[in-house]
């Protein structure tokens, strides 16, 4: 079945460090890929998305590229801030569109000043 695998956390970085959170997926067809972020005590916010191979999603300095050949959608940011501390979830919708989201287990990021 469809699944998402994220790198295990937690991840702890110093402010202005480079961030990579790995995400790989298994899906039939052509999924849409997403990164959601969850701040403490809150629901999920969409961070970025990509709907077809080689698309790059970007938002707030975060980027991720849809790599069909490696079935990956790694999240990157060049310089993290303390305010980026949160849990990050990689997710897919199996065929795109308004279908169920399949989530990874999440990666907790802590950024220290």
Partner 1 sequence: DAGVTQSPTHLIKTRGQQVTLRCSPKSGHDTVSWYQQALGQGPQFIFQYYEEEERQRGNFPDRFSGHQFPNYSSELNVNALLLGDSALYLCASSSDSYTDTQYFGPGTRLTVL
Exactly one of 49, 73, 75, 109 binds partner 1 (CB under 8 A); that residue is 49
**Nearest distance from residue 3's CB to partner 1, in Å?**
11
Residues in 65-104 that interact with partner 1 by CB under 8 A: 89, 91, 96-104
Q: Can residue 16 be called a binding residue for partner 1 (CB under 8 A)?
A: no
Q: Can residue 109 be called a binding residue for partner 1 (CB under 8 A)?
A: no
Q: Can residue 29 be called a binding residue for partner 1 (CB under 8 A)?
A: no
Contact 17, 109 (CB under 8 A): no
The contact set with partner 1 (CB under 8 A) reads 4, 32, 34, 36, 42-46, 49, 51, 89, 91, 96-106
């Amino acid at each position: 079945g469809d699944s998402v695998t994220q790198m295990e956390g937690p991840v702890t970085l110093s402010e202005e460090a480079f961030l990579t959170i790995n995400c790989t997926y298994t899906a039939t067809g052509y999924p849409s890929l997403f990164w959601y972020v969850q701040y403490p005590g809150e629901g999920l916010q969409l961070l970025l998305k990509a709907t077809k191979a080689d698309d790059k999603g970007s938002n707030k300095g975060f980027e991720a590229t849809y790599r069909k050949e490696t079935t990956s959608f790694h999240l990157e940011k060049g310089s993290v801030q303390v305010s980026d501390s949160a849990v990050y979830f990689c997710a897919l919708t199996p065929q795109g569109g308004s279908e169920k989201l399949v989530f990874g287990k999440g990666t907790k990021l802590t950024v220290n000043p």
